[in-house]
Structure 1
């Protein structure tokens, strides 16, 4: 089968605008508008309700992500195999967020939010597979555009705008839902995925024989998918190590570092540094990886920066520690986000199911954000806030060791 290739001139802008358009609005709505509306409906039980929404969202995301990836891999249309699903997902997500804005009670809000979660993953899973369209010598650059630039803008760039709508959170749902649809549509137009209707005509290569054990499962056994599973487990450890700190950053500032009136400015400083280094690594990491043909080493060693940053906050409980943590985490996360999707693409056990396996891999973002706060809460209750940084240090290093243990990617 002749592999579809799209030039970096079209692919890179799409891989920046696309993820920023779904991730940014989602983070703003999830962290600001949803909690505000839940508090409006039921303030006494808001903590439990936020946990309920998070748990249900994780389950829906896991299922819809795999389904979206599998459907996308099998799709043939004049608009390609990815664009129809991510555009449909963006449209349904917009409608779901508009419905959420008009919700009269918790059950209706939960229903709208779950529909939105499912639709969101019909954007995410096909879109990350766009990286596979990059030319062979530009795949790291494409991965860097998606994870380094697009996700950095989404993670840190939308919160400033979102805060302006905090007092008008119902309107915020509508506006940011529309932003997602418009942004994803623009990205799809720029990438302009070609038709794959003739794909069947070129698929004449004999398919490998599968055992009954392989056919009975959507996941290959360990001997076939070892490196993929290593990368997936590494992402979980690295993600928990990172989110154990970022998920409790407010309480770390108030209860551990005792920043008092400087709490808000300290958090803003950290976010600014993370944004700057995320964008910087987005510009640098991919091209450097393409030029020197290195991939596993920068992804693996990026976790050292996260581990170092955790120790800095543990030992230096002042502005120096905060700034040093932000610099180290910014470099580490920027490097990881820029290249980890490409590394995963290189170790996928079945190249005919790219979107499916990339979708499962990207579930690491959702699952770790659900696991990390629970683990961190348990550690805090046993050892106090200082225990979070030791957990982050250990988990980050384990993630790096697992990445370096991948065999099929040499360096």
Structure 2
């Protein structure tokens, strides 16, 4: 599923060729904006409904199955869309459905995984999330080189993602919720359940804040990486994209190593917070390297530090939040969905806030040093927030 979503976020650029030259940017913003809204709403909503599901298939399997199927239908709609309006409908359906699937997937961590193994599993989930874009890029390159029609860039990753979801649905030994344990549905109480009080659950609030701040710093770099390469080093577009791919490979390799090793070490020692703090410091250091680099070769150092930091962070962060999750036995999917807002929100806010830093003392060129240093400070604040968590070591 990660390959599917990662690839299609890039393939949308092919679809907005359907519109005129003057409206392409606006059309792409419309498509991604509507999709982001549906993703934002669907994840906690599907999670809450999953927590109340009493199907004989279990609590999570119906959401895995139908989310995968309907999301695939949405991608197929995009692949054959005759207009930008149809693309909007297809992407909204895909984001809503796949985020429903993601809500069920995230709930499997507290549902199925013992505390002694959560960091290992969290690490592999982080690897899947961050390596998938590379797999998607390689797949698209292979299809393009083979002269395949652009529709296959949508359909083939979708088939791969759906096959994975169907395999998991078929093999998962899911929890079956007894109907007698589920109270009557009351809309007011249902909606109020999405508010998790920081006063009553401070550990969850601090974990949410730490994830939000780290991904805010990450988004401040990721959203402007190509423009940074173009302006700082004077690359042409092809060279900038080539460097972007190289840095992604370095980052992914180090992320893989750090996530696997960090997850195992965290489970072995039973400690979470120290790994989160060290990982965020490494990620902040990577951003500082990007801020000061005057030679492109130094970017490899920044990418390596950033990859190590993200890998170690993703290895333990989901395990940490699972340890402090409110009402873990009855509201796991809903509360993990609320936590997922800390993933989605920074990707929307950071690009909007970035011009404030880019404009600091800027002349002809944007001030990327100020943006990345600000990102490093924000990431460091994420590490600080983790220290206030009391319910985990």
TM-score relative to the length of structure 1: 0.86
Decide whether the 8 Å contact of 2:18 with 2:83 is kept in 1. no
Shift of 1:355: 0.7
Q: Which ranges in structure 1 are unaligned for 5 or more consecutive residues?
A: 1-21
Q: Is the 8 A contact 1:78 1:194 kept in 2?
A: no
Q: 1:17 matched to which residue of 2?
A: none
Residues 295/278 of structure 1: CA separation in 2 closer, same or farther (3 Å cut): same
Aligned partner of 1:135 among 90, 114, 119: 114
How many equivalent residue pairs? 378
Q: Report the counterpart of residue 176 of structure 2 in structure 1.
A: 196
Partner of 2:152: 171
In 1: Cα distance, 2:19 partner to 2:228 partner: 28
Aligned residue runs from structure 1 range 112-191, under 5 A: 112-132=90-110, 133-147=112-126, 149-165=127-143, 168-190=149-171
Partner of residue 15, structure 1: none
Query: How many Å apart are 1:161 and its aligned residue?
Result: 1.1
- For 1:62, the equivalent position in structure 2 comes to 40
Cα deviations by residue, 1:59-112 (Å, 9 ceiling, x for unpaired): 111111111100111112333211110111000011111111111111111011
Q: If the length of structure 2 is used for normalisation, what is the TM-score?
A: 0.90
Q: CA RMSD in A?
A: 2.3
CA–CA distance in 2 between the matches of 1:350 and 1:172?
Answer: 41
Cα distance change on mapping 1:170 and 1:253 into 2, 3 Å: same
Structure-1 separation of matches of 2:211 and 2:114: 25
* Corresponding residue of 1:34: 12
**1:213 positional shift:** 10
Q: Could you report, residue by residue, the CA deviation over 1:240-268 in whole angstroms, capped at 9, with x for unpaired residues?
A: 10111111111111112324464233212
- Provide structure 2 residue ranges, at least 5 long, that are not aligned to the other structure: none
SS of equivalent to 1:224: coil
The answer on 1:266 being equivalent to 2:249 is no
- Give, in whole Å, the separation in 2 of the partners of 1:365 and 1:213: 25
Partners in 1 of 2:354 and 2:86 — Cα distance?
31
Q: 1:242 aligns with which of 218, 221, 231?
A: 218
| Separation (CA, whole Å) in 2 of partners of 1:62 and 1:354 | 17
Contact 1:227 1:408 in 2 (8 A): yes
2:369 aligns to what? Answer: 386
CA distance in structure 1 between the partners assigned to 2:346 and 2:92 by the alignment: 19
- Aligned partner of 1:218 among 161, 179, 194: 194
Query: Which whole-Å CA distance do the structure 2 matches of 1:35 and 1:220 have between them?
Result: 37
CA distance 1:221–1:44, change in 2 (3 Å): same
Question: Does structure 2 conserve the Cα–Cα contact (< 8 Å) formed by 1:79 and 1:194?
Answer: yes
Measured in 2, the distance between the counterparts of 1:308 and 1:320 equals 16
Partner of 1:287: 264
Cα distance, 1:374 vs structure 2: 1.7
Structure 1 residue 200 displacement after superposition: 5.5
